[in-house]
Every structure is written in C-alpha cells, then in structure tokens.
Amino acid sequence: MNEAAPLTVLIYYQNEKRAEEVRSLVARRFPQLTVRAVSARGDAEALVEEADVIAGWGFPTDLLARARRLRWFHKFAAGVDDVVAAGTLPPQAVLTRTDGRVFGRRMAEYVIAYMLAHSQNVPRILRQQAERRWKPFLTTTLAGRTVGIAGLGDIGQEIVRRAAALDMRVLGWRRSAGDVPGVERMYAGREEFHEFRGQCDYVVVVLPLTDATRGLFDDTAFAAMRDGTYLINVGRGPVIQEQALLRALESGKLAGATLDVFDVEPLPEDHPFWRMENVIVTPHMSGPTVAEEVTAPFIENMERFLAGRPLLKQVDLQRGY
C-alpha cells in the first residue's frame, strides 16, 4: 500500500480502561500507525472524519455517516446488528465482526451452567438455603434430554460439543441447510422451525438479530414447544418477542428461562423478568470482553489490511452477519 500519511485508527469503547488496553495492544504491534482511544461521543465526533479505520463496541453509529476517509469498520463483537441497521457505513468501507470463537468457549460454558442450573433447580436450592429449609426434592438430568440450538455459527458449534459430551441429544436450526458435526438433525429455514422447536427440552438461542430473525419466537412459536421447555437466550433480545415470552412463562408453557440479552439494556428496574422465580437474568455477560482476546483477531486482520489482502469475518450487509 502506498501510505503518504500514517493511517489513523480509532479505538472506541465507552469503558476508558478497555479502550486504552486495546489501543496499547494495537499500537505496540503496529508502531507505524496513529492509534487513538476514545470513549466519549464528543471525542469520537471530533476524530471520526480523520479515521481510516474504526474499531470498537457501541460506537455511535450515526457518526459513521461523517467518516469520509473510513475504509474499514470493525466491531469487537460477534453481533453487528446495530451497525447494519443504522445504514450509515460509508459505501467505500468494509465491515468486519469478531470471530465467534473468541467468545465461544465462555458462552458455551455459560449455556451448560444455566441448563444445569435449571435441571438441578439451583434457584430453588438457593431460596431454601436462604430460609434454612432442609427439603430434598427430585432433580432432572441433562443426559437423555434434547437441546435445540438455534444458530449454528462458531458459538453454536461450541455449545453442540459440550452438550453432546453431557449425553444430550442435540438438534440444530439455522437459516440454510447443511450438516453440523455433533448435531443429530439439522433443521433449516422458517418451514422447519416449527418441527425443530417442538422436540426440545431446552432451546438455546444464539441467533444474530437480522430482518429474518427479529421476533422469530412469538406466541405461535411458544405454543408449538413442548410443555415445560426451558429457554436460554444468549443471542439478541429482539429475536424473542418479550410479551410472548412473558405469557409463555406465566402460563407454565415454558418451565423457565435464562436471559442474557433483552430488548432494552440495561433491563429496566421495573421489568417483570427481575422478579420471576422461573427466570434467571444475567446482564449481557455470557461472552465477556477480554482485551487480549478481542484484539487478537483484529490484529490479524490489520496485518491483512496493511498487506492489501481480503479481511476475515467480513459482514454481508444484506444478510446482516
């Protein structure tokens, strides 16, 4: 590449410490670049027009419309729904996302942990302990139960391997057909969604938010599930219609849910999920950000970018991931 002036890279995280951690990892690896860390909207606004590359999480997407030099926008996340929906990415810029394998191990352990929390009824045990009540009860096993994983990208596939190791029967659902190792049967597309969800004791949602997945889990979807199914959502809140989920939980159609993602985050204080005994709420933390972990694939891609080679994990804007 013919670089007259050094490339300017903007690293954005609202958390200043994290922005600085990532900035220093990138700057150390590429001393020839001008790498800046920003955390406030005002600072991003002041620098956006000079940026050749922006990499961040939660970057104010409206500002992208002013990024006239931008050639590459990278998100330190597996999901890029906010950037795609904003439609503000300048046409000359490519969009990349973080390889799901960065979060996959942690997210798969989260899913296994909360499936076990439901099968062992950990919430009930904690309540009993708080009341010093000695009252044995019968728990269930994951072995022999069916888990359906909706979304079989890098993260979903990590979950498959762990669930299969616990002797669960694993089914999968995704947009397009094709076998996945460890999955007994794959279902594809809206037509097969009904059949998929009717067979599961646990449904795990790892789907990206796209036009095709928004509101996918509605009243009809819940009605078609087995009585007593547990739902775990680590994808995006709006893939599930919250009111329909509330109805399914209140009626006992669903036995319980663990939710890491919501329509509105942080989950408002007065939201009913907070006080439902059969719901476990976690604050969008199943795939946490560890600076070294999220920066590694960005650095690998920066090497490609500087060498003029195609970037990995480029987002297809039509498809949305």
Q: Which residues bind ligand GLV (CB under 6 A)?
A: 77-79, 103, 287
Rank residues 37 and 77 by Cβ distance to ligand GLV and give the closer one: 77
Adjacency order of strands within the sheet including 185-188: 185-188, 169-174, 146-150, 202-205, 229-233, 254-259, 279-281
* Smaller CB separation from ligand GLV, 229 or 289: 289
Which is catalytic among the residues 49, 265, 277, 303?
A: 265
142 Ramachandran zone, left/alpha/beta (phi>0; psi -120 to 50): alpha
**Nearest one of 104, 73, 100, 103 to 86, comparing CA atoms:** 73
265 assigned to active site: yes
Q: How far is the CB of 286 from ligand GLV (least distance, A)?
A: 8
Task: Identify the active-site residue in 18, 23, 97, 236.
Answer: 236
φ/ψ bin of 247: left (φ > 0), alpha (ψ from -120 to 50), beta (otherwise): alpha
Per the DSSP assignment, residues forming a β-bridge with 203 are 148, 231
Smallest distance, ligand GLV to C-beta of residue 167, A: 29
Strand-strand pairing, 146-150 and 185-188: unpaired
Catalytic option among 50, 106, 284, 293? 284
| Residue 284 annotated to the active site | yes
Q: Which is nearer to ligand GLV, 80 or 112 (CB)?
A: 80
Would you say 145 or 313 has its CB closer to ligand GLV?
313
Whether the bond into 6 is cis, omega within 30 of 0 = no
In the complex, minimum distance from the CB of residue 78 to ligand GLV, in angstroms, rounded to a whole number: 4
Nearest distance from C-beta of residue 235 to ligand GLV, angstroms: 8
Burial state string for 104-116 with b = 16 or more CB within 10 A and e = fewer than 16: bebbbebbbebbe
Catalytic annotation, residues: 236, 265, 284
